[in-house]
């Protein structure tokens, strides 16, 4: 039966022989796509009297929402914290290469940098949809420079700043523009941080707590003012203490405003967080866990010396350190690797592992109505995976943008 052309001339694609991640579980049903959106087949059959123009056999693949990476500093030799003449070609390269990792949307992340870098780089980042050219850009994640000296991690101390004088005006002067900014990581114990958090939240920018020596009450106050995220839990913050659990205590705090959820990023690469710590966090607050790569320019390249903003870093196996030290500086993990490691380390279900890299980051950014799910009318950004969670193919807007060659299946 031909599709009803009075509704749309666009072809309808039916993906068959697959298990779809929908409503928190894998369901054996077909996926219907038209004009980049996921269709409700009942409406198609009964309202439009339509049917598929094309059928694709998925060979028993899992179909899951595309991964969303909200903290990635670069990769493949590209460093988002370096102001270069060809910055746009660098961001294009990364967005294209991460399609093979199952990433369909991301937030390019800048570590602590001088104001001149923000002023040069941020105007060159624009929010855009994904496609054959690469993963979509959701906006920048600015990690610093308003962070703690004691927990600076791999961030250069000479570039750190405070809110002492003009609070939000200082932040605006430092960054130059907030037009493309989606997330700001700051230390909530800093003086006048509350008013900054409120101003950012008012503008729809997600505030994340990190690189901080905040105690629990300071962290709770930040959440009450609008903060919703924790940057790489356990890393660059006070260790958990039973009398004052610090930022980590937000996972089980009873001071979170009603109807609000605190999310937390985890670098599930087997290096940054011991599997036992990953299990503790997941069991304490499973619905808030967001997998991030925190990948640096050296991701996808051979071991050796690379950059992270103003610093030189050394890659040794899966470890990345500031050159000459044992200070961890980002990761070289890919998102699909993080998903597999998380599932293996926690023993969680396949559905839970996939949602930590798709649904949860979408909920964090308030875009779960169109990304991070396979609900009807949402964007048709999805992956085909095998049972071991290796990506077979990546689709954006219903179009195949990457496929594993047959020899690698």
Query: Left if phi > 0, otherwise alpha if psi is -120 to 50, otherwise beta: which for 331?
Result: beta
Q: Name beta bridge partners: 395.
A: 382, 400
- The pLDDT of residue 406 is 56
Domain ranges of the chain: 12-64+373-403, 66-365
Nearest Cα neighbor of 299 from 344, 335, 325 is 335
Evaluate whether the domain defined by 12-64+373-403 bears CATH number 2.30.40.10: yes
- Cα separation, 185 vs 202, in Å, equals 16
Q: At 202, is the secondary structure helix, strand, or coil?
A: helix
Question: Whole-prediction pTM value?
Answer: 0.96
| DSSP H/E element including 195 | helix 193-202
CA 86/CA 81 separation, integer angstroms: 13
Beta bridge partners of 69: 106
The pLDDT of residue 46: 82
| DSSP letter string, 205-271 | PEEEE-SB---HHHHHHHHHTT--EESSTTTTBPPP-SS--GGGGGGG-S-SPTT---EEEE--SSS
Residues 331, 269 contacting (CB under 8 angstroms): yes
Nearest to 145 by CA among 120, 119, 110: 110
Phi and psi torsions of 289, nearest 5°? -75, 125
Residue 329 in marked binding region:
yes
pLDDT the model gives residue 9: 79
319 labeled part of a ligand binding site = no
Report phi then psi at 43, rounded to 5: -65, -40
- The CATH homologous superfamily to which domain 66-365 belongs is Metal-dependent hydrolases (3.20.20.140)
232 assigned ligand-binding residue: yes
Is 143 marked within a binding site?
yes
Name the residue among 382, 357, 389 with its Cα closest to residue 13: 382
Is 154 marked within a binding site? yes
Both tokens assigned to 72: 């990635």
Chunked into runs of 10 residues, the chain (409 residues) has average pLDDT values of: 57 97 96 96 83 94 98 97 94 98 98 97 97 98 97 95 91 97 98 97 98 98 98 94 96 96 96 94 98 96 92 89 90 96 97 98 98 97 98 98 73
Give me the active site residues, please. Answer: 294
Chain mean position to CA 283: 21
Residue 330 annotated as binding site: yes
pLDDT at 48: 78
328 annotated as ligand-binding: yes
pLDDT of res. 7: 60
Secondary structure, 3-state, 65-98? ECEEEEEECEECCEECCCCCCCHHHHHHHHHHHH
Residue 17 three-state SS: strand
């Amino acid at each position: 039966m031909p599709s009803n052309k009075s509704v749309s001339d666009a072809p309808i694609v039916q993906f068959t022989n697959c298990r779809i991640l929908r409503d928190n579980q894998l369901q054996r049903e077909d996926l219907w796509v038209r004009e980049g959106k996921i269709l409700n087949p009942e409406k198609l059959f009964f309202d439009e009297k339509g049917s598929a123009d094309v059928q694709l056999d998925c060979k028993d693949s899992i179909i899951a929402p595309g991964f969303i990476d909200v903290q990635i500093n670069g990769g493949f030799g590209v460093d988002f914290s370096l102001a270069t003449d060809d910055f746009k070609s660098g961001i294009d390269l990364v967005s294209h290469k991460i399609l093979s990792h199952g990433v369909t949307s991301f937030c390019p992340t800048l570590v602590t940098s001088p104001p001149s870098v923000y002023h040069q780089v941020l105007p060159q980042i624009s929010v855009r949809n994904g496609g054959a050219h690469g993963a979509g850009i959701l906006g920048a994640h600015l990690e610093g420079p308003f962070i703690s000296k004691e927990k600076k991690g791999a961030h250069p101390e000479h570039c750190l700043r405070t809110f002492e004088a003009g609070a939000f005006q200082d932040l605006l002067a430092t960054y130059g523009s907030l037009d493309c900014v989606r997330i700001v990581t700051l230390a909530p114990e800093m003086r006048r941080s509350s008013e900054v958090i409120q101003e950012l939240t008012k503008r729809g920018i997600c505030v994340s707590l990190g690189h901080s020596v905040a105690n629990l009450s300071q962290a709770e106050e930040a959440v009450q003012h609008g903060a919703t995220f924790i940057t790489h839990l356990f890393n660059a913050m006070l260790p958990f203490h039973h009398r004052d659990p610090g930022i980590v205590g937000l996972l089980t705090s009873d001071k979170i405003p009603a109807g609000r959820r605190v999310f937390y990023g985890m670098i599930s690469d087997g290096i940054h967080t011991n599997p036992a710590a990953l299990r503790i966090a997941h069991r304490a607050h499973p619905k808030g866990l967001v997998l991030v790569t925190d990948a640096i320019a050296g991701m996808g390249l051979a071991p050796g010396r690379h950059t992270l903003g103003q610093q030189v870093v050394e890659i040794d196996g899966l470890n990345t350190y500031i050159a000459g030290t044992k200070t961890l500086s980002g990761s070289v993990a890919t998102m699909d690797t993080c998903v597999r490691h998380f599932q293996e380390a926690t023993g969680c279900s396949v559905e839970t592992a996939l949602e930590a890299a798709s649904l949860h980051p979408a909920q964090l950014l308030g875009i779960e109505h169109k990304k991070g799910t396979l609900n009807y009318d949402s964007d048709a950004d999805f992956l085909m995976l095998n049972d071991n969670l290796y990506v077979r193919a990546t689709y954006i807007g219903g179009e195949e943008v990457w496929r594993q060659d047959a020899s690698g299946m």
